[in-house]
Amino acid sequence: MPITDFLIRNAQLYGNEICLTEINLDLQDRHHVIWREYELIENNPNGEYRRDMTWRVFNEKANRLANLLIKRGIKKGDKVAILLMNCLEWLPIYFGILKAGAVVVPMNFRYSAEEIKYCLEQSEATALIFGPEFIGRIENIFDQIPQIKTLFFAGENRPSFAENYDRLTANCSSEEPNVELSDDDDAAIYFSSGTTGFPKAILHAHRSLVASCYTEQKHHGQTREDNFLCIPPLYHTGAKMHWFGSLISGSKAVLLRGIKPDWILRTVSEEKITIVWLLVPWAQDILDAIERGDVKLEDYDLSRWRLMHIGAQPVPPSLIKRWKQYFPNHQYDTNYGLSESIGPGCVHLGVENIHKVGAIGIPGYGWEVKIVDENRREVPQGEIGELAVKGPGIMKCYYRDPDATAAVLQDGWLFTGDMARMDEDGFIYLVDRKKDVIISGGENIYPVQVEDFLRSHPAIKDAAVIGLPDKRLGEIAAAIIELKPGVQSSEEEINTFCLALPRYKRPRKVIFDQVPRNPTGKIEKPRLREKYGATKIVARQVELELHNGKKI
């Protein structure tokens, strides 16, 4: 069955029940509105603190978009891109594209104009739906994306080069589109980069999306009584695939726009949230705010909150030990996954295994794992090798890149590029990365992109970017800068130059030194890591904590 069938079922069974709520406490706080007094207004995308949507409206909005796309000539298999901040419209747009038989292409809202252009070209998208935050970026590349025949703007103050999404969909039928879908039909293209620069396009079928629904519900036991707090961006497989547990159970979810500890706790309290997925920095911020006295737990009703789980980066056991001091009744889980394996769930710790915090866990529901050597032969238990996973959520391919596909897919196995070991109980620990990716606050930073940018500075001869351990973000990007002979520069000047980069890509530390390269011209990053005390992955810190006898 295609994943859209779950939405149709929910609209039929629970049509008048609220399924999605969007809350923007930044607006509330800026206007000094008392929490319990702000108005509940539906179908107003601008300026309200809270908006609700029922399952019936969700399904109708998806149908209206699907029928509009079909009317505009979008055929089964055509690609339609989404470039939106988290909002109430995001998921109906996602499902509307799927219902039209098209392939949905979610894009990172941090992408530069050049990256947006690249991803539109790589995915062969012919339509784009974008929000007000991206007007400038789209305007910069508008005359360079002639393949985009349909350009819809979702929001107020529509730019002249796009059409009004709200007005057009309002005039379309809300009936189910007559498009037959199967498990094997192409459904979505997600983007993920390696170390060579621009992202790869990852193609998934409907069966992958459906598999993630069952995996998520199996791991976290969502029922109709649950309410899931979704904070991470929906363009990412992680947030959306965790929400799929709400979809399959027909339960509620809240989209919170903001990550302040008080906002998270207020939302959990007032919305009676039961499940929260956090990134390590957000959990760290909540604990720090509690310990500073900035928030007082007695000010909130957190009695319904049953599960806190973390993904996107390794989790230090000391963080969970602190968490359990303040939230002793919480279940805890961590999830490992890749966009190539439809996000989180191919490996997970399991709520019953908190004694194994530090491990990424065991094979997820319906998944197999193995650890292999450079010849892809399984290594003995306890030895380090490359982690490989196999299951129902494996990608079909890297779209339009058969060589890259062949390099990581073999006999149904996905070779992750992550180095790991398995303990005597079958729990898997990450110990290193083959891919030169820095994970900072749950976001991937690809050093080659930053290095190429730095080398465009007139004073810089060479540059290398490595990850350094950071208590809050997991890792931060550090730039080793080699200046041209006889030229001077300063950390302040480099930081000012880097303001042209997206905020999350800017180096947090600048070091002036020589950049070592081997005889073939490759940067010798192991030497730099050793010199500056960097660990290749925060999971190494996790192992050290465990080996030093620190246990939950």
| Domains, the chain | 4-258 (3.40.50.12780), 308-435 (2.30.38.10), 438-542 (3.30.300.30)
**Residue type, position 168, single letter:** L
Q: Specify whether the CB–CB gap between 332 and 351 falls below 8 A.
A: yes
Parallel/antiparallel/unpaired status of strands 409-410 and 397-398: unpaired
Is the pLDDT score of 98 beyond 50? yes
Least confident of 34-38, 217-221, 323-327, 536-540: 34-38
Q: What's the first-to-final CA gap in the chain, in angstroms?
A: 42
pLDDT of residue 458: 87
pLDDT at 94 over 70: yes
Q: Which residue has the tokens 């992550």?
A: 418
pLDDT for residue 32: 43
- Gap between the Cα atoms of 91 and 106, Å rounded: 11
**CB of 438 within 8 A of CB of 477?**
yes
Does 142 score more than 60 pLDDT? yes
Confidence of residue 552 (pLDDT cuts 50, 70, 90): very low
**Beta-carbon contacts of residue 532 (< 8 Å; ≥ 6 apart):** 466, 468, 478, 480, 511
pLDDT tens readout for residues 372-405: 998 999 999 999 889 999 999 999 999 999 999 9
- pLDDT classification of 28: cutoffs 50, 70, 90: low
Mean pLDDT, residues 422-434: 84
- Which residues are CB-neighbours of 209 under 8 A, at least 6 positions away? 3, 187, 188, 244, 342
**Distance separating alpha carbons of residues 230 and 371, to the nearest angstrom:** 32
**Alpha-carbon distances, residue 302 vs 182, 226, 309, 327, 542 (angstroms):** 42, 14, 16, 9, 29
Of 263 and 25, more confident: 263
Angle between helices 317-326 and 280-292 (to 10 degrees): 50
Contacts of 393 (CB under 8 A, 6+ apart): 204, 208, 211, 212, 215, 341, 342, 343, 345, 346, 367
Residue with token string 């979809």? 247
pLDDT score at 314: 66
In whole numbers, what is the pLDDT of the chain averaged over residues? 88
Residue 112 near residue 502 (C-beta atoms within 8 A): yes
Enumerate the β-bridge partners of residue 151: 128
Q: Kindly compute the dihedral angle of the four CA atoms of residues 164, 58, 7, 79, in this order, to the nearest 10 degrees.
A: 10
Q: Which two tokens stand for residue 506?
A: 């800017």
What are the two backbone dihedrals, phi and then psi, of residue 514, each rounded to the nearest 5 degrees?
Answer: -75, 145
Q: Count how many Cα atoms sit within 13 Å of the Cα of residue 153 in the half-sphere of its side chain.
A: 17
